[in-house]
């Protein structure tokens, strides 16, 4: 901001806060005072009846100056000072400066409220001034230059703000290119090529969105699983944890499900199949006569065991049974284990495959469970007696469906009519 070029009256008292004007050329004489400070001689610049006035506090404004009551500029009579238009004095003393509180008060009053560019146009302190400065008329260009710089700073700040907003918008657009930007370009491309990209029948469904649902029980039971016919696994077993309550009110049989370690089959699926099969009304739970409950701790009535062919043969041999000839299962009556051959569970049999084809494995697994548990319940082998009829569940259906020239149909149930 520019400074005033007019001077106020000198103070006849000792005013320590207002510095005395620098001496001017010409004859000098001592000014009145208290003797506490030596005053420099001043040159009279007007008629004798008009005392000269010292420099007033310089403020950043073009307001006209006036003497304030109480001697704010000092009482007249301090001696003449150089005229505003006169020559400058020698650089013997620093030029007087206004009180800081005047400058601060003026800055606070003159700044527009809520100035958004205060950080650009405000300065905490003026730059240091040289010991000698040009007369006031030489300061006019500085005032204009200061205002010009202020306006330039405001304009630069405004331009910078606009550029920042534009750049931020462009960066945001590029940052979201993988989602919104890509979709926008895809829409533009669709409009350019006649909208073919917007037709759902022309687009392939992304593979990452087509997540396959977990296989159901029926889907798992309809699949065959790889397992070698001569496999002999660890010979040790894991009990499948959990509890399946007996659903009926007939004679209750409690059983546990063990699966041999290392055979690579789904033990949970096997346990689920046993519980569902035995409590089906076409099975030994027919007409509410029996009900079956699976446990994983405590004393069971028997243990249904899924084991490799080698381990199955070992446990069946304990009851005098040979399962190696046809790689079959058995009820090892001398032990608490009903042995289900894992190879047959995983691969089925030729007899069922020949008659039922691709739908053979699920009913074959149901037949395995019902046949071997039937032995545990006291039922012995029987054979088909009428051609074309359903084979009895206690017939050795893994080995044959034809006996003495009579061929029957594959059947997994003890009471197929329910």
pLDDT at 311: 98
Question: From the CB of residue 196, how many other CB atoms can be counted at a distance below 10 Å?
Answer: 11
The percent of residues in the chain predicted with pLDDT above 90, rounded, is: 49
Cβ-contact 384, 407 below 8 angstroms = yes
Tokens of 217: 């029980």
pLDDT at 163: 63
Q: At what angle do helices 267-278 and 361-376 cross, to 10 degrees?
A: 70
Question: Domain locations in the chain?
Answer: 1-61+74-82+94-151, 218-379
SS3 at position 337: strand
pTM equals 0.53
| Residue bearing tokens 């030596």 | 38
pLDDT at 121: 47
* CA angle centred on 173, ends 171 and 177, rounded to 5°: 115
pLDDT in tens, the chain (418 residues): 444 444 444 444 443 444 444 444 444 444 444 444 444 444 444 444 444 444 444 444 444 445 545 544 444 444 454 444 544 445 555 566 666 766 566 555 555 555 555 554 454 445 555 544 444 444 444 555 555 555 556 666 665 665 665 555 554 545 444 445 555 455 555 444 444 433 444 455 555 556 889 999 999 999 999 999 999 999 999 999 999 999 999 999 999 999 999 999 999 999 999 999 999 999 999 999 999 999 999 999 999 999 999 999 999 999 999 999 999 999 999 999 999 999 999 999 999 999 999 999 999 999 999 999 999 999 999 999 999 999 999 999 999 999 999 999 999 999 999 8
pLDDT at 418: 86
Measured distance CA(322)–CA(318) in Å, rounded: 10
pLDDT per residue as tens digits for the range 349-378: 999 999 999 999 999 999 999 999 999 999
Of 398, 403, 400, 401, which is closest to residue 323 (Cα–Cα)? Answer: 398
pLDDT at 226: 97
Of 248, 246, 251, 299, which is closest to residue 274 (Cα–Cα)? Answer: 246
């Amino acid at each position: 901001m520019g400074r005033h070029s007019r001077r106020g009256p000198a103070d006849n008292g000792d005013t320590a806060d207002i510095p005395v004007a620098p001496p001017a050329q010409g004859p000098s004489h001592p000014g009145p005072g208290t003797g506490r400070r030596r005053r420099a001689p001043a040159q009279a610049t007007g008629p004798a009846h008009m005392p000269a006035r010292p420099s007033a506090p310089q403020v950043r404004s073009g307001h006209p100056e006036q003497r304030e009551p109480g001697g704010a500029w000092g009482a007249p009579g301090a001696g003449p000072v150089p005229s505003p238009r006169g020559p400058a004095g020698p650089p013997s003393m620093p030029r007087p400066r206004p009180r800081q509180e005047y400058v601060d008060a003026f800055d606070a009053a003159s700044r527009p409220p809520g100035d958004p560019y205060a950080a650009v146009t405000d300065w905490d302190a003026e730059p240091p001034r040289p010991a000698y400065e040009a007369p006031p008329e030489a300061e006019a260009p500085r005032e204009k230059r200061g205002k010009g710089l202020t306006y330039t700073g405001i304009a630069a700040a405004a331009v910078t703000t606009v550029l920042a907003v534009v750049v931020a918008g462009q960066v945001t657009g590029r940052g979201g290119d993988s989602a919104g930007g890509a979709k926008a370009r895809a829409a533009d491309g669709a409009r350019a090529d006649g909208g073919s990209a917007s037709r759902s029948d022309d687009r392939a469904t992304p593979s990452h969105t087509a997540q396959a649902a977990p296989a159901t029980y029926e889907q798992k039971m309809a699949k065959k699983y790889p397992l070698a016919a001569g496999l002999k696994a660890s010979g040790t077993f894991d009990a499948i944890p959990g509890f399946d309550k007996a659903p009926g009110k007939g004679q209750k049989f409690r059983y546990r499900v063990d699966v041999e370690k290392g055979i690579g089959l789904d033990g949970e699926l096997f346990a689920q199949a046993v519980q569902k099969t035995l409590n089906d009304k076409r099975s030994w739970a027919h007409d509410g006569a029996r009900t079956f409950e699976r446990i994983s701790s405590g004393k069971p009535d028997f243990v249904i065991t899924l084991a490799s062919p080698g381990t199955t043969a070992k446990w069946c041999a304990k009851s005098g049974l040979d399962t190696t000839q046809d790689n079959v299962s058995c009820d090892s009556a001398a032990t608490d284990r009903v042995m289900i051959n894992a190879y047959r569970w995983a691969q089925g049999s030729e007899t069922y495959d020949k008659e039922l084809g691709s739908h053979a494995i699920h009913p074959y697994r149901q037949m395995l469970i019902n046949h071997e548990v039937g032995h545990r319940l006291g039922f012995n082998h029987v054979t088909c007696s009428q051609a074309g009829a359903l084979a009895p569940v206690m017939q050795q259906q893994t080995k044959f469906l034809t006996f003495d020239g009579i061929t029957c149909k594959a059947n997994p149930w003890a009471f197929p009519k329910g």
